[in-house]
Structure 1
Amino acid sequence: MEKFTGYIFVTGCAGFIGFHLSKRLLDEGFYVLGIDNINNYYDTNLKYDRLSILAKYPNFMFIKGSIENLELMESLFDQYDIDIVVNLAAQAGVRYSLTNPHVYIQSNLVGFANILECSIKHPIKHLIYASSSSVYGNNKQMPFSVTDRVDHPVSLYGATKKANELLAYSYSQVYQLPTTGLRFFTVYGPWGRPDMAYFKFSDAILNQEPIEVYNYGDMKRDFTYIDDVIESIYRLIKKGPPDKSISYYKIYNIGNNQPVQLKDFIKVIEEQLGKKAIMKLLPLQPGDVLETYADINDLVRDINYKPITSAEEGIRKFVEWYRKYHNIT
């Protein structure tokens, strides 16, 4: 088990996963250096509300800025003793990448390259970074395995995440930088992103507005509850970097390993909200895939943990938070 004396640098700390991970690390007594540019991709008030919780911890240091700012990044690595980097800063969203491609290039590629460069100039113990199930594209073999070829992502977002994995691989080989990539599968839960389907569905159902259901609801997602994601990342941090006698590079799927039909997921939301959805059934959107399903054998073997939260329990917890956050009785 790794021992740490310096900071864990969490990029995107005001984001959904970044906030939850930072809070867990702070609760466990770690020193966390967080950075976030607080962009307006979705409501910044939600980001600041997350930050206000983290700011209460004396072992938390926050920097407002962008990882694509190389000068800033170099100054942070100069100034702080950083043991581990967990890169969760990225421009999120599959559909947004169809209309705003340059934002993805800057954040997901230029920003990640800056992190890699700083990590070799100021040697760290381990770089953990967010990838995505989007790298699998329209792979037909189920469940998706980390040994599958992922050469055909169907969105720019997925392509940038695949590029992150390739960049990490090259730096791990050339500079012996220990890297671990995490392919997240449809993460949901309290403090989540308002652009995600389950969040938008809840908004619309409570306001008695129609929800847009793509591919007529006939698609499956490996919905993964946020606490399961955080427990997985936390255990990987504690486990330490990949075994260098094998490789400095590792990839894991972080998924629930139980795909749920979108129509069934909507039913769970309806049950928890106590209201029926008005559904506007639409064809499959560009960049979308029909099914995601994570093979998590490597994850279970290496950290002795398997995501356990059912869709019913996860949505119940989300709705509880949603009502409290929005003061809905």
Structure 2
Amino acid sequence: MRSLRVRYCRLRTDGGAPVAELEALSFQQRFGAVSVAAEGIGGVETQPRFRRQGHMSRLLRQALAGMAQRVDVAFVSNGVEGVYERFGFVGAVAEGHLVIPVRNVEQAAGDDLEASVPGIHDGSPADLPAMIRLYNAAHAQRPWTHERHSGWNRLIPQATWRPGSQTLVLRTDGAAVGYAVLEGRAFGDPLGSVTVDELVAENAAAARLLLRAIARLCWKRRLSEFTVREPADSLTGRVARHMGCTYQQRFPPSGGMMAAVLNRSSLVRKLEPELRRRAAAQQPDRVFDKAFDALRRGDLFPDDKALVRLLLGYWSTDDAHVHGMSVPEPYREHCTAWFPGGGTPSLPTPYAHRLDRY
């Protein structure tokens, strides 16, 4: 991902002293096969002596008003509980990860973990172009995901008191066919766990070898399991499920990864190609057009918080129905196709990989 463009929004006293500040970051955010211009809120801070006086609420409202002049949707990468709901945001991505027992990987491999895994090498900056290619092939059309461009490097550098990223690359005939980015350990940390921030492979055989390499590392540290931050419907997730694993998902009632619709009609218009793709409607038809116009106007799912959850795949049409939102019979077929929920053939699970969060 290219460096995020950042705007700074600040409040100052009449004398010029800083009161509160936040960053508005510009990027492209995906709703499946279509990405749209978006902005995210980060770096929110109020000076200690000005806290609890309403300054941040005022700054957020001003910042969102400015965002609405530029983009149609806003995001928060890691919202504070009980804060952003007041400004139209809603949790839109569930946090999920795989927990894989080392014994299951060993049994699937058919041998013990003493032998090294062929083709595994420590990664280097020269591997980044291949890693970007593999990542985009695996995840670029996943809701919430950023497509990574040439020059992307969000790997965390390691310092004495700061854990950095450890990268393993799998090569076959000299070409990279998979990689894993491990969450590093700070100096002095106990060897109590292994967490993989990303594990992406070109095919199932490569994914199995990478999982075996991670399991071998755990075996050497006398650990019984490891965590992989990949969605269950990814290639890695499918291979791990075949080996035997647990998929843990958290749906926070507040905070977390959040989104807000700023301009409903404009956002829905930009996502029309994506809605046609989900409905497999390549040619205009009157029912689609009527349903689409009703969605754009707000006659269908008038709550913008529900709309952004539906568009991103956090909710399906059935989920909306459970929460008291009915769909008129003429539009039910289209709404079911538009909003199947993530983890379905037409819409992968929404997922925000840690190395792309701001």
With structure 2 as the length reference, what TM-score do the two structures score? 0.25
Instruction: Give the TM-score of the pair, scaled to structure 1.
Output: 0.27
State which structure, 1 or 2, has the greater radius of gyration over its C-alpha atoms.
2
